[in-house]
Structures are given as structure tokens and as C-alpha cells.
Amino acid sequence: MKAGCHQQQNVEAVLFIINVCLFGGYQLTELQVCHVCNGTVQNGTAIGQLCSASAGLLDGRCCLGRRENPSDADYVLGLDLSNCSLNYVDRLQEAATATMIDLSLNPLVSLDNLLFEGFIQLRHLILPAHLVCPGGNASWDKVEVKGESLYCEGQKDICNQTGHLSLTCPENSLCDPDGPGLYECNCVGDFHGYKCRRAGQFPIIQVLGPLGASTVLVSILLWVTQRRKVKSA
């Protein structure tokens, strides 16, 4: 009996070590947005169904997607913050990779216009019925109210909408989507600088060279000054 107990203890110790090795890194990189409120994603919810269909990993209020490279951190595929008694929502950038977010059943008064900046993968957003889809109805393929919830479905690429912001970006730049109703202008080719007016590679040496030399010179002067004060003291 004692030999059997020792063997069982050895097996448990090995399993514990394996568990630490496999999941220890994940615990260190825990996403705060997944634990904004208590509870976990339920199977019957929209996020739960998404996670089940995509073979994701449930972590608090998140459904995490797996990277092909095991050394890379998992990413947020879906975020369920429904019924969390939230009066306001901010700092959702950890969930910028999400394709679905549920904020329904919360006493939210309004949402910041830039709350979903960078959420270019977002395809399904569920909000309290009295709110408005970010970017307005024109930023979504379908907007529908069901019971107490507002469903914003299919985020549109604002840069590809005919006659809408297509000529806003300056010359030598292209419009890139940056979330619902949001966009950014990025210089093309080797153009850079203010309104992408300068051509050629960015003059790193010309810009950083004098700056670095000035920094070194000031540091030497300060060092000499401090040395003199020490000697005089």
C-alpha cells in the first residue's frame, strides 16, 4: 500500500509540473478585459456558441483564439460583458482582435466615439437597445433591435463606401479602416512627413545624428560640472 501511495504521489507531482510548464506562461499574461466582472461565458449565449464553433478557449468573460505558433499569446476572439452592471465602458483595447462583443443588459448611458478604435475585425456587436451602433447605422450592413438588445451586424469598410470619405485623405496616402465609422490615412511608397508630402526614405541619420551628438555633448558638460563641484566640496 505504501509503494502504491508513493507512486501516486510521484504521478501527481509530474502532472503538476507539466501543468505549470504548459499554463504558467498563460497565467502571467492574463487579459484584464476578460475579468471586468464576475462569471464566465455561458454555452447558450452568442459568445458561447461562437467559442464552441471555433474551438476556442474560455477564460472568464472571453473566448480566446489559439495562435498557430504555441509560443505566441492567445488572442480575444469574443468578449461577453453582458449583464455586468456597467455604467460605462472603456479600455477595451485588449479585445481589439474580437469578432464579436456583447455589452447588452447593462445600464450604459452612452459609448465613447473612439471606444472601438482599431477594432477592424469586429463583425457582431450587441448593445442595450437605447444606444446607437458606433459609427452610425451607415457603418453596418444590418442594424436590428430584438427585445432589449441592439444588434450591429457586419462592419462596413468605410474607405470603400462610394462618395463617403473617399477623397478625405491627402495625396500620396491611402485610407485604411480603423474601426466602426473610423479610418486613418497612411502614406504610400516612400512618402512620409506632414500630409505625406515628402518623398524618399526618412532621413534617420540627418535627424537623429545631430540630436545624438547634442545629447552626448550636454551629458559631458554636466559630468564635468558635477566633477568640479565634488572636487571643490
pTM exceeding the 0.95 threshold for the entire prediction: no
- 53 to 76, 165, 184, 191: CA distances (angstroms): 15, 36, 33, 44
Dump pLDDT digits (tens) for 86-134. Answer: 999 988 999 999 999 999 999 999 999 899 999 999 999 999 999 999 9
| Structure confidence by residue, pLDDT tens digits, 31-42 | 999 999 999 999
Q: What would you report as the CA-atom Rg of the chain, rounded to the nearest whole angstrom?
A: 26
Length of the chain in terms of residues written = 233
Question: 194: which DSSP letter?
Answer: G
- All 3 cell numbers of residue 170? 491627402
Which cell is 171 given?
A: 495625396
Residue keyed to cell 430584438: 146
With contact defined as beta carbons under 8 Å apart, do 76 and 99 qualify?
Answer: no
Each domain of the chain, given as residue ranges in start order, spans: 10-156, 157-216
What is the secondary structure of 78-139 as a DSSP string? Answer: EEE-TTS--S-----GGGTT-SEEE--SS------TTTTTT-TT--EEEEETTS--TT-GGG
